[in-house]
Chains A and B, each alone.
Chain A
Amino acid sequence: MSPLLQVCDLTTHLFTVEGVVKAVEGLSFDLDADETLALVGESGCGKSMTALSLMGLVPDPPGRIVGGQVLLGDRDLLQLSEHEMQKIRGNEIAMVFQEPMTSLNPVFTVGDQIVESVLTHRQVSRRQARERAVELLDLVRIPDPRGRFDDYPHRLSGGMRQRVMIAMALACDPDVLIADEPTTALDVTIQAQVLDLLGELQGEFGMGVILITHDLGVVAGIADRVVVMYAGRKVEEAPVDDIFASPLHPYTQGLLGSMPRPGLEERLREIPGVIPSLIDMTPGCSFAPRCAKAMARCREEQPDHATIGDARVVACFAAEEEVAGRGLAVDT
């Protein structure tokens, strides 16, 4: 069975006065129906730009998708007109944003904003849309959904607003849900609730979910597969258990090392150095300047994506050598 969503070689650049920011560079991944894919990476590595590229919402200017394909079924979304894209947004692909405090329009009630989502894509009466909205508010576990319907966003807490955003995204039963750091702005306890909710709804709706986060801790409980991004590129992809059990890329290892874990007394190890500028990229691997395992070759050549086993991908010369040393098949 072919995957629900196929992203091939997606490349999105931002043409700023300082230079061309290569926010997303040759990114490829598949998303199956009924799975949760985590997109992980430090701040500024191009996660949001990836999401906006899939939605066709890259801010232009300065941004533009300069290459690649985004296949939903047999349609390449990047070839669709703006008008055709509008029929897909919020309908087949929906998105939840990072900032619940500012992502809802302050002058309309939350109910009306959900109703609007329903009416944009469904030929139903206002009454039916209203019923659907109440149903959705209930679905995202908002207490007293009928009462909350007429509330303005400023009356709701951050967690409640994010639930409303989720309800809005689910309004038309999308095939793909992109959640861009949906819990980063929330308190820790609320974070867990919202993530649980997302996990449950994923099963209920049978959606493919792309969960974007910079926090590997979030990934463990909810994701099926993980794509690790660094400086606009995919550096590693693996089933979630493999990522935690045997991370291959030094960057992934670094991310895991800097992750607080219960029962672990040792000091957290930060990855040394800073994220490189996405404007003047060095010819070699972009992680090389921060990498303990970097070799001469790493500074000259960009490592290709090597497939390891049948489910893992890594882009790192050192990792390739290690894996080959263990006698596993490496396919570049």
Chain B
Amino acid sequence: MNRTFLAVRRRLLQAVPVVFGIVAIIFLLLNLSPGDLVDVMAAEEQISDPQVLEQIRAEYGLDKPIYVQLANYVWNIVHLDLGYSFRHSQPVWDVIVERLPATLILMSVSMALALFIGGLAGVVASIKVNTLYDNLISVVAIIFFAAPSFWIGLMMMVLFSVKLGLLPVSGMYTIGGDYSLAGEIWDVTRHLVMPSFALGLFYAAIYARVMRASMLEVSGLDFIRTARAKGLGEKRVAFKHILRNALLPVVTLFGLQLGTMLAGSVVIESVFSWPGIGTLVFEAVLTRNFPLVMGVLLFGSILVVIANLAVDLVYMRLDPRIELR
């Protein structure tokens, strides 16, 4: 355990330069894109006097050379100061922390759904290989893989909210609803159903395919024959011996896809007006609120680093041949 702890610490330390590298690259890219905060303000406030604009730029430090701006930014990050969002009249840190829980809830529920539904579908498809069940699962998986998640989201809205009236259309809370804890949890859960399925089903489709292939591959290996030779029943062979080994590629894929899932949540949050950092970053880009965009991306990359480390730890638990270094 102690060795694991040391390895985790080393990995986290290694991640620090990576995160700073990401910060620098994003910072430069954002500065290459046309327009800045002041342009947006100018358009919104109908200011056209170039002198006033220059004054505002000087105030925010936007007139300095890029590398100075970058150095300042990094210096501030080290002091946990992510800048100020003038739109929200709040420090960027506070804005993000306020929105983060919503995204974390959406992501973790979507991931859990994807793993559970996809994994189960893959296992069933592999056990019933080349039967009607298998084909049905394949077809459904292809549909969810091919259909864009925002479209699935919109179709769900039409069906479950508009036509059937079962679920709230969007947002995370009902305004003026039940404010007891249980009532609130129930309310959030109802709001969560559609966005988490819309985001999770795409990944479930991928996991179902990978799980099926992986189960079939493992079931042909020698040690599965050994398990059968012991007199184990098919269920035990499948759910103990095959599944444990077949999970490994799925976990690898899962780790690789965490980042893209974060990106996918931006779209889904926008579709469902989910008050997470996805919607936040969307607005922030439109309004050239660069400190906020930077802050969100910084949080995102740290999240991915930590999640990947967690995946590695899980992997190590699943496969004794792997040791964390």
Do chains A and B stick together as partners? yes
Q: Report Cα–Cα, A103/B241, bound state, in Å.
A: 12
Contact of B231 among A99, A103, A104, A120 (CB under 8 A): A120
For A106, the chain B residues whose CB sits under 8 A away are 223, 245, 319-321
Q: Residue B228 at the A interface, CB < 8 A?
A: yes
| Residue interface bits A69-108, CB-to-B below 8 A is 1, else 0 | 0000000000000010011111100110101001111111
Q: Within 8 Å CB of A117, what residues of B?
A: 230
Cβ A87 vs Cβ B231 within 8 A:
yes
Residue on B nearest A56 in the bound complex, by CB:
B228
- Provide the bound-state CA to CA distance between A172 and B110, in Å: 46
A90 to B228, CA, bound (A): 9
When C-beta atoms are compared, the residue in chain B nearest to A121 turns out to be B231
Per the bound structure, the CA–CA distance linking A165 and B227 in Å amounts to 11
Roughly how many angstroms separate A108 CA and B318 CA in the complex, as a whole number? 9
Contact with A along B308-325 (1 / 0, CB 8 A): 000000000011110000
Q: Does B221 contact A (CB under 8 A)?
A: yes
Cross-chain contact of A104 among B223, B318, B319 (Cβ < 8 A): B223
Q: Is the CB of A154 within 8 A of B321?
A: yes
- Flag B219-230 by CB within 8 Å of A: 1 or 0 each: 001110111111
Asked if residues A94 and B321 are in contact (CB atoms below 8 Å), the reply is: no
Chain B residues, CB < 8 A from A102: 221-223
Task: Find chain B residues with CB under 8 A from A29 CB.
Answer: none
Chain A residue at smallest Cβ distance from B228: A57
Specify which of A83, A99, A116, A154 is in contact with B230 (CB 8 Å cutoff): A116
Instruction: Say if the beta carbon of A238 comes within 8 Å of chain B.
Output: no
Residues of B within 8 Å of A89, CB to CB, are 228-231
Determine whether the beta carbon of B321 is less than 8 Å from that of A57.
no
Over the window 101-141 of chain A, the binary record of Cβ atoms lying under 8 Å from chain B Cβ atoms (1 yes, 0 no) is 01111111100000011001100000000000000000000
Q: Is the CB of A55 within 8 A of B229?
A: yes
**B226 near A165 (CB under 8 angstroms)?**
yes
Contact indicator per residue, chain A 149-174, by CB within 8 Å of chain B (1) or not (0): 00010100000000001001000000
Rounded to whole Å, the gap between the CB of A164 and the closest CB of chain B is 10
Residue pair A105, B231 in contact (C-beta under 8 Å): no
- Which residue of the partner chain, among B227, B229, B233, B318, contacts A105 with CB atoms under 8 Å? B227
Q: Give the one of A95, A104, A106, A109 with max B CB within 10 A.
A: A106
Complex Cα gap A57–B222 (Å): 12
Asked if residues A107 and B244 are in contact (CB atoms below 8 Å), the reply is yes
Q: Mark each residue of chain B from 56 to 96: 1 if its CB lies under 8 Å from any CB of chain A, else 0.
A: 00000000000000000000000000000000000000000
Q: Which residues of A contact B222 (CB under 8 A)?
A: 97, 99, 102-103
CB distance from B239 to the nearest CB of A (A): 13
Residue of A with least CB distance to B221: A102
Asked whether, in the complex, the Cβ of B223 is within 8 Å of the Cβ of A154, the reply is no
Interface residues on A, range: 20 to 34
> Is B256 close to A, CB under 8 A?
no
With A106-B245, A106-B320, A107-B320: A86-B231 Cβ-Cβ less than 8 Å: yes
B52 at interface, CB cutoff 8 A? no
Contact mask A239-250 → B, CB, 8 Å, 1/0? Answer: 000000000000
Considering only CB atoms, which chain A residue lies closest to B320 in the complex? A152
B25 is an interface residue with CB less than 8 A from chain A: no
| B162 interfacial by beta-carbon distance below 8 Å | no
A171 to chain B, nearest CB (A): 8
Q: Does B230 contact A107, Cβ atoms closer than 8 Å?
A: no
Instruction: Evaluate contact between A152 and B230: CB separation under 8 angstroms.
Output: no
Chain B 187-245 residues near chain A, CB threshold 8 A? 221-223, 225-233, 241, 244-245
Given contacts A106-B319, A154-B321, contact A57 B225 (CB under 8 A): yes
A251 to chain B, nearest CB (A): 29
Pairwise interchain contact A152-B231, C-beta atoms closer than 8 A? no
Question: Do A105 and B226 have beta carbons less than 8 Å apart?
Answer: yes
Contact assessment for A103 and B320 in the assembled complex, using a CB-CB cutoff below 8 Å = no
Complex Cα distance, B227 from A57, in Å, reads: 11
A154 and B226 in contact, given A102-B221, A107-B244 (Cβ under 8 angstroms): no
Residue of B nearest to A82 (CB): B234
Alpha-carbon separation in the docked complex, A172 to B53 (Å): 87
Collect the chain A residues with CB atoms within 8 Å of residue B232's CB.
Answer: 86, 90, 116, 120
The residue in chain A whose Cβ has the minimal distance to the Cβ of B224 is: A105
Q: In the complex, A57 Cα to B321 Cα: how many Å?
A: 29
User: What is the CB-to-nearest-CB distance from B129 to chain A, in angstroms, rounded to a whole number?
Assistant: 11
Rounded to whole Å, the gap between the CB of B41 and the closest CB of chain A is: 59
Picked from A87, A95, A107, A168, the residue with its CB within 8 Å of the CB of B319 is A107
**A35 CA to B295 CA in the complex, in Å?**
77
Contact assessment for B228 and A105 in the assembled complex, using a CB-CB cutoff below 8 Å: no
Which residue of A is nearest B242, CB measured?
A105
A97 to B223 CA separation, bound complex (whole angstroms) = 10
* B229 adjacent to A57 (CB under 8 Å): yes
Query: Among the interface residues A107, A116, A117, which one has the most CB atoms of the partner chain B within 10 A?
Result: A107
Residues in B neighbouring A168, C-beta threshold 8 A: 226, 230
Assess whether A90 is in contact with B225, with CB atoms less than 8 Å apart. no
Question: Which residue of B has the minimal Cβ distance to A51?
Answer: B229
List residues of chain B with CB within 8 A of the CB of A88. 231
9 examples of A-B residue contacts, CB within 8 angstroms = A57-B228, A57-B229, A83-B233, A97-B225, A102-B221, A105-B227, A107-B245, A107-B320, A120-B232
10 closest A-B pairs by beta carbon, nearest first, are A90-B231, A89-B231, A90-B230, A102-B222, A152-B320, A105-B223, A103-B222, A86-B231, A95-B229, A103-B226
A residues sitting closer than 8 Å to B (CB atoms) are 55, 57, 83, 86-91, 94-95, 97, 99, 102-109, 116-117, 120-121, 152, 154, 165, 168
Q: Given A105-B245, A106-B245, A121-B231, 15 other A-B contacts at CB below 8 A?
A: A83-B233, A86-B233, A89-B229, A89-B230, A90-B229, A90-B232, A95-B229, A103-B226, A105-B244, A107-B244, A116-B232, A117-B230, A120-B230, A154-B321, A168-B230
